[in-house]
Every structure is written in structure tokens, then in C-alpha cells.
Structure 1
Amino acid sequence: MEKAAFRQKILLDHLRPSASSQENSNLQASVCLAGDSAAYARSAPFGDDVVIVAAYRTAQCKSKRGGFKDTFPEDLLAPVLKALIDKTKLDPREVGDIVVGTVLAPGSQRASECRMAAFYAGYPETVPVRTVNRQCSSGLQAVADVAAAIKAGFYDIGIGAGLESMTANSMAWDGSINPRASTNTQAQDCLLPMGITSENVAHRFGVTRQEQDQAAVESHRRAAAATAAGKFKDEIIPVDTKIVDPKTGAEKRVTISVDDGIRPSTSLADLAKLKPVFKKDGTTTAGNSSQVSDGAGAVLLMRRSVALQKGLPIFGVFRSFVAVGVDPAVMGVGPAVAIPAAVKAAGLELNDIDLFEINEAFGSQFVYCRNKLGLDPEKVNVNGGAMAIGHPLGATGARCVATLLHEMKRQGKDCRFGVISMCIGTGMGAAAVFERGDGVDPLNNARKIGASNLLSKDAL
């Protein structure tokens, strides 16, 4: 009897709170740190973390000649905003804020267009809208801003979105340049054309033309295969719009639901024929660079307890976000710095990440970042990237969230953690870590472990 009582005492001691909170006599289960990354732990109580319940995008179309060349920007954003409430049956009055990443349009004009899009989508006047611009990471920044606001308690439900019509708004410098820039090298490098920074990366880090072209071929191959297999159907919201014949002015009603920049037949031989665009003896071409595109995306985030109360599925869990600064002359290296920082912030290690979406701004920087971090190519951009799908600047981050989470859902228990990252003009990088939503519970096991009845359900 005494031995039984002693064993019971030992067991209860294991279940007691830490010494810092022993005045609380309630028994608590300690955090389970089994798994490949013992450091992994949530930074918020289980019911209080931020989850994604839906993420959608439009198709990405070639600017000025693709499916959205005659579509107003707000008519790109409205369908994805509407899809969030239609598919989840959420009362739009409950949305605390809509944050839209966008880059090229004049700020006040685009802010007005985004507010108009919310009305077109059926949101009431009580729901506020704002825009955010961190260049190529603007869509991801919008998602991160909403997650941060939810964590801070500003509201429980919010939308992070992205929008860019590179048909309507081209990349151009507006106004004169401060002559002071000539006295500061880094300030001067902020003005470098993005293609020149690509050439700088290739030259400084020895990324060959063939490596860049091969990455482009693989991007098109994977994107074409994903399209043929119907992998993008769940994430793309069809957009009813018009196409205007430039010669006759005749309008034709169309429904756009497929990325139109993907070239399944792209080959190394074809790409080798293209001339460098930015430097006479360079390696950056139209074929191994991201496509100039039009598109939009939107992500619905909630406090977990609210999502559970509403009976909504937990599609993904927002784990961490980091933005970093790098040398503007080689701005494309940003993901190589941002990814390790974001992974560390989530309490993980690189080998814990099962899937990566790294924006292919240029073949040079994409190859460099992948190689620098020693990433398995079979885990990176498994359904193609921006060289094939396109890169509507402000929308890319939101597009990547939709693509990543839908792919993680398809892969199931073999895919628990995913990372999204991109380089940013003027020399920055951003990255975020997401966890597959239907594989987590209050305990903290980072990876599938061998048979054991002592681990939480998601580790088995």
C-alpha cells in the first residue's frame, strides 16, 4: 500500500505546475516536448493562437495581354473577398479589419479601390479597410499584420489580402530623384533596377545561366503538372470579366480560372535562345525571371477559440513572421536570411519544415537561396513558382498562403510545417511559418514519431 501511495505521489509531482506557480494547487499537464525539435512550443495558449480558416486567390494572368488585361483592380479583389464569406458562411459584420497588400498604384487611389471591392463583395460599411506596402511581400505582410492584431486583442476575425494589376499600374519612378542619393552607396543601390540586382546575385555568388534556366524549366513543368492534375482548383476563385479586342474594341464575356502564363513546353533549348535583358553579357532573361502579372488573393484569420466556437475547420495555424534587411545591391538574397530567422522564431529547425514556397522573383536569387540554405528541391515550390505562375507584386504573399496551405492539406500528416518567403526590393526579405491545421493539438510534438502511447495524437 505504501509503495502504491509513493508511486502516486511521484506521478502527481510530475503533473504539478512549475515552481514559479506552485501557489496554484490545480494540477496541470506539462508541455510534451517529444519530437525532432524539442524547442518547438506555441507562444500563445492553445485556444488563443491565430488560425487560418480559408485562403483563396484568383488566377494569375499576364499583364497587358492576359485574361485580366481589361479588368478593374477592384474587380479582382472583390471575388476573393466574397468567397471567404460565401464558403465559410461567416457574417461579414464580424470582420474586424481587411488589410490589403498592394504596391504600384497611388496609395489613396488603391485604398479607395479596396474599399469599393469590399462593398462589391457584400461587406457592410462598418468593416474597415486599409492597405499596406512592403513591396513584394505586401500580401504576406497583410496576413502578418492581421495575425498580430488578433494576438494583440484588437479584434478576433480579420482578413489579410493582396492585390496588383500590373496592367493598370506599371513599375516606374514618379518624380525626380534626390541628388543626395549619389553620396550614399546603399541609398543609391535602392534605385537599382531589380534585374540588375539579379545580375549582381548571379555574379557575386556564381549562379550560372544554365542553373537559372533549369529552375525556370522546372517551375513551368511543375506548374503545368499541378494545373493538369487539378491541384489549383480548390484555391482559385473563378472571375467573371471581359476581354476587349484591341483592334475592334469588341467585348467578350469570359470566366478566368486558370493561370495563363504557364508554358508546359518550355525547354532549356528554348530559354538558351533568349537574350539577357538588363546587362549585355548578363544571365537574366525574360525566361528566367518572374512574370509581370495581374491577380489577387485573400486569407481569413481568426482566434482559434472563435473558429472552434463557429465550427469552422482549422485550415492552418500562423506560427511566426520575420522581415529582415539585406544589401540592396543583392536584394534577392533576402529569403536566405529571413527563412532561418522565421523558423527559429517558431522554435523549429530548417529540417523540420516539410514544404517551402519561395517566390521566384529571378532564377538567380531563387537558386542562390535554395542552395545557400541546403533545401531539398523536392520540398520547394512543388507546384511551380512565379517564373511560371506569375508575380503580381502585392498579391504574391496572399497567393502563396493559399497555395501552401492547400498543398499541405493534400499531403496530410506527412506535411506539418510550411514556410513562405520572398525577397523585397531595396534590400529586404520576409518569411512566415505555418502549421497544417488539422494535425495539431494542445501538446507540442514537431514531427511524426514511431509508435508510442505517450505522445499526443498528432505525433502518431
Structure 2
Amino acid sequence: MRSTRMALAARSFSHAPWRRGWSYRRGSLAGEQCAPRMAFTCTAPKAGPQAFEVDHSRDAFIVSVARTPNGCFRGKLADFSAPDLGAIAIRAAMHRANFDPALIDEAFFGNVLSANCGQAPARRAILSAGLPASVVCTTVNKVCSSGLKSVMFGVNSLNLGYADAVVVGGMESMTNAPYYVKKPKDKMTKEQIIQSLEPGGLVDGMVMDGLWDPYGAYLMGNIAENLARRMNITREEQDNHATRSYSSAARAQSLGNFANELVPVYPKDSTAVDGSVNFAENCEALLSSDEEISNFLRVDRLPKLNPAFEENGTITAGNSSKISDGAAALILASGAFVKRHNLKPIARVLSQADVELPPAEYPLAPARVIPVALQRARMDAKDVDYYEINEAFSAVSIIVNRMLDLNPAHVNLFGGSVATGHPIGASGARILVTLTSVLRQTSGTIGVAAVCNGGGGGSALVIERMS
């Protein structure tokens, strides 16, 4: 019996994912306290877009992407719950993947403001999208990194051989985040509870669970203000960055750069809400492009806006990301699945990484995690063609560009969350979706997606364009 177990163990080890193109290494970046002590690193790709190679059987490939437009707070998507929006993005991604949804094994979907979304939001989105009940579903909450962390969980399942095809992404309806009332210790009716409310008795769920730092007891914007002051980032720099973000997004929208990722949203009572590109005739889309970008026409007002977090602060509503509603979805598949079904993948995932810093330093997290992710891919910054780094605040983007000495022309080419909006549970996935568009339309090869999150965390993913 013992010899049988040993033989099985040896066989399992020889077929483990890290035995096929992965190497195990100890160590950390010089001077990088946040780097893990142990890491898996992927074999570095050759230069230039690679034709699909059959020996990458357990590598994770991006097969299709889709996202809803981002709606403004209390805007055109106000009637849609997060699972509603997630279902639209998932259906569109499955339609574009062009294989039987019954082949999907698992789903990881980000959602931060889950209160009042109903039980298991990811499960609701998957079933509403028409996928079979056999799909294993997990809702992920890593604040602003939720969408990207969901992708990372999907990649892990593929690398380890636990799944062959997965749905990943994120969704959020910040508009529909409820207010909270603490339950009284004594038994009371709803009417009595409402009558007994004191000023401040209602807690804004969006702020409490999404935008509030519980460690310092202040808003995420206050942390960004502190770091902007510490790093001598001026109001003018931030307003200039915001103007650049709006102009880049407006230009991308006018040129159709988002066409391969966006799926229109139709009224809920319309039969056309199927997430695909084939809609019922004579049905007008409710929203087909990011709603906030139209405010580019008013960027001349940026210098006139009052500070949002401190009386003499530099961060305003104009140079910050916008509270939004939206969803993004990606279909990932293993190399073996791609070959078996003759799929044409968009990109291959080369590496991923997470770091954690003190909560009051969360804006620095992208600058810390990107080198770790590149190290795991056996790459340097010079190998990267384009970056998508979430613009929580213009100050965050300026800090990261400065710390990593990045060329702004290669960061957020189609604009960022300042202009397109920041539905917090979806943005991590949204930036990855847009990164695939950037690489395809510029013939770039290597891209990095990175995002910071409340609590001091940051996540990053390195991809290689395939087609």
C-alpha cells in the first residue's frame, strides 16, 4: 500500500504545473520588503507576439473580454443591480468566446458593496447570464483590487489543473449601495426603529464598506491628500493629469478604441438585455459608452473646483476617480482547452503578484507590486509596452509614475478611471480588459495591469498579447 501511495505521489509531482515551464526560486527584490520570500516564476516569453505553443497546456489564456459602459452615480444604470450588470458582461464575454457555456468549470467575480444584492452575488450573475447551475461560483472582495484578484484566482485554478475554463471579472452598483441602520438591542418594530433614529443614525454603506479607512478613521481621499503633500504633488499637476485622462478617454471613444470591449446596456424591461451583439430590432440602447467621458467638455472647470477632503487640499472631485456603476468579464481557458477547441486567445497570463503595505500607504502599492510581478515573469520595466494602472486619484497615478520612472505616454493610453469611472468591485477587471484592447490596437506585446486597494494592498498581472 505504501509503495502504491509513493508511486502516485511521484506521478502527481511529475505532472504538477510548475514542472511544465515553471521554475521555483527563493529570494526577493533587493530592498523590497513587500516581496514574498518564495515565488513561482513563469518562463520568459520570446520577443514579439507568440503563436500558440502546444506545450503551454496549463498556462492561463484570455479567450474573450467584455464590459458594460460605466454609468455615472445615479445615472443611466441606476436601475441595475451589480448582479444585473455582471450578467450582461458575462453573457457578452461568453458570446464572444464562442464555445458551449456548459464547459465552464468555475467563476470568480468581484463585488465590494454586496449588501442588498441578495445571497451570493457572483452566483446570481452567473445564473442570470444563462450559465449552467454546475458552475462553481465565488464572490471576491478585495476592495478596489476585487476584479483583478478574481482574475488571479481563475488563473490559479487553471495553472493547478482544477479547471479548464473559468469566468472572472467584477461588478458594482455604487448607486444602489444601501444605508445601514444598527439593529437595536431591544425588540422594536421597523416603524419604531425609524422614529428612534438620531442624527447620524444612518450609515452610508458605500462609504463605510468601500471608501472609508477603518484604521485611521478617515476617507481614502484623506490618505491620498497626505501622500500628495508628503511627495510635493501640486494641485496643478493633478488637474493636468485629470485633463490628460479625460482627453485620452474622449479621443479613444471617438476613434472606437473601446469597441472590442464594450457591450451596450438595454432597458431592463427590454428583451434585448442578453449581453450579446444581437439585440431585438427597434430597441434603443440605454447606454453604449462610458457616461462620465462626456464631462470632458467641462474640464476647463477643473481649476475652479473646491477641495474634496481638506479645506486647503489639492484633491477635488474633478481630479479623482468617479463613483460609478459597471461590470467587466473575461473568459479564461487553459492551453490544453484552447488547443482542444481551436480557440484564438487574446493574451497569455505570464505572472501575478500581491503586496500589502500599511493602510495609510495604499497609494504606493502599485509601485511596489509591479516590480514583483515583473520579477516573477523574469522581466524588467524595459520589456513592458503599456501599463494600465487604476486611477483612484490623479495623485496616485502621479506617485506611481514618479516612483517607477514610467513614461506617462505608455500608461493608461485610453484614459483612466478619473475619466471613465471607478465601480470599485469591477475596476480591476476593467483595466485588464482595456489593456488587451491597447495591446491589440498598438501591436504591443507585454502589458501590466495594476491596482491599489484600501487597507494597503495592491495587485498586478503581466500579460503577453497573442493575437
Q: Which range, TM-score by smaller chain?
A: 0.7 to 0.9
| Residues 329 and 429, structure 2, Cα contact 8 Å, conserved in 1 | yes
Distance in 2 between residues matched to 1:337 and 1:147, nearest whole Å: 21
Alignment of 1:52-451 (within 5 A): 52-64=62-74, 66-106=75-115, 109=117, 111-169=119-177, 189=215, 191-241=217-267, 254-262=285-293, 263-267=295-299, 269-412=300-443, 415-438=444-467
| 1:368-389 C-alpha deviation (Å, 9 max, x unpaired) | 1111100011100000000000
1:111 Cα shift?
A: 4.7
Contact in 2 for aligned 1:100/1:132 (Cα 8 Å):
yes
Matched-pair contact (CA < 8 Å) for 1:190–1:425 = no
8 Å CA contact 1:220–1:266 kept in 2: the answer is no
| More moved, 67-76 vs 418-427 | 67-76
SS at the partner of 2:316?
coil
- Any idea what the Cα deviations from partners look like across 1:120-150, whole Å, max 9, x if unmatched? 2211111121101110010000000000011
Q: What is the rounded CA distance, in whole Å, between the counterparts of 1:126 and 1:429 in structure 2? A: 32
Structure 2 letter corresponding to 1:330:
E
How far has the Cα of 1:270 moved from its partner?
A: 1.5
Name the SS of the counterpart of 1:212 in structure 2. helix
**Which amino acid in 2 is paired with 1:150?**
L
Q: Secondary structure at the match of 1:210?
A: helix
Shift of 1:89: 2.3
Going from structure 1 to structure 2, the CA distance change for 1:94 and 1:358 (only over 3 Å counts) comes to same
Q: How far apart are residue 174 of structure 1 and its match?
A: 7.6
The residue type equivalent to 2:297 in the other structure is S
Q: Aligned partners of 1:426, 1:282: CA distance in 2, in Å?
A: 22
Q: Counterpart of 1:321 in structure 2: which amino acid?
A: Q
One-letter code of the match for 1:48?
R
Structure 1 Cα separation of the partners of residues 356 and 78 of structure 2: 34
Give the Cα–Cα distance (whole angstroms) in 2 for the partners of residues 393 and 150 of structure 1: 25
Matched residues in 2 for 1:171 and 1:147: separation? 35
Residues 1:59 and 1:174: Cα distance change in structure 2 (over 3 Å): farther
Q: Which runs of 5+ in 2 are unaligned?
A: 1-20, 23-40, 46-53, 184-200, 204-212, 270-282
Contact 2:60 2:159 in 1 (8 A): yes
- 110 and 151 in structure 1: CA distance in 2 versus 1, 3 angstrom threshold: farther
| CA contact 1:207–1:364 (8 Å) conserved in 2 | yes
Whether the 8 Å CA contact 1:162–1:297 is kept in 2: the answer is yes
Q: What is the CA deviation profile of residues 181-220 of structure 1, one whole-angstrom value per residue up to 9, with x for unaligned ones?
A: xxxxxx9645431010110111111111111111100000
In structure 2, distance between residues paired with 1:359 and 1:274: 22
Q: CA deviation at 1:119?
A: 2.1
Counterpart CA distance in 2 for 1:170 and 1:117 is: 19
Q: Is the 8 A contact 1:76 1:296 kept in 2?
A: yes
User: Bigger shift: 331-340 or 138-147?
Assistant: 331-340
Confirm or deny: 8 A CA contact 2:449 2:462 kept in the other structure.
yes
8 Å Cα contact 1:212/1:363 also seen in 2: yes
Question: Structure 2 CA distance, aligned partners of 1:133 and 1:227?
Answer: 30
Q: Secondary structure at the match of 2:112?
A: coil
Percent identity reads: 34
Q: Which residue of 1 aligns with 2:187?
A: none
- CA deviations 1:2-36 (Å, max 9, x no partner) are xxxxxxxxxxxxxxxxxxxxxxxxxxxx99xxxxx
CA–CA distance in structure 2, aligned partners of residues 406 and 318 of structure 1: 15
Contact 1:96–1:155 under 8 Å retained in 2: yes
Pick closer, same or farther for the CA change 1:81–1:242 going to 2, 3 Å: closer
| Structure 1: distance between partners of 2:362 and 2:432 | 22
Which protein is bigger by CA-based radius of gyration? 1
Provide Cα deviations, 1:36-71, integer angstroms capped at 9, x if missing partner: xxx98259952331111101100011111x220112
Quickly say closer, same or farther: Cα 1:111–1:411, change in 2 above 3 A. Answer: farther
Bigger shift: residues 77-86 or 91-100: 77-86
**SS, match of residue 261 in structure 1:** helix
395-404 vs 167-176, which moves further: 167-176
Cα offset, 1:402, TM superposition: 1.1
2: CA distance between counterparts of 1:342 and 1:170? 36
Are the equivalent residues in 1 in contact too, given 2:121–2:139 (CA < 8 A)? no
Contact 1:111 1:131 in 2 (8 A): no
**What CA RMSD, in Å, does the superposition of the two structures yield over aligned residues?**
2.6
C-alpha displacement at 1:162, in angstroms? 0.2
Residue identity opposite 2:401 in structure 1: R
Name the TM-score, length of structure 1 as normaliser. Answer: 0.78
Contact 1:40 1:348 in 2 (8 A): no
- With 326-335 and 310-319 compared, the bigger mean Cα shift is at 326-335
The 1:391–1:174 alpha-carbon spacing in structure 2 relative to 1, beyond 3 Å, is farther
SS at structure 1 position matched to 2:99:
coil
Whole-angstrom CA distance in 2 between matches of 1:162 and 1:40: 26
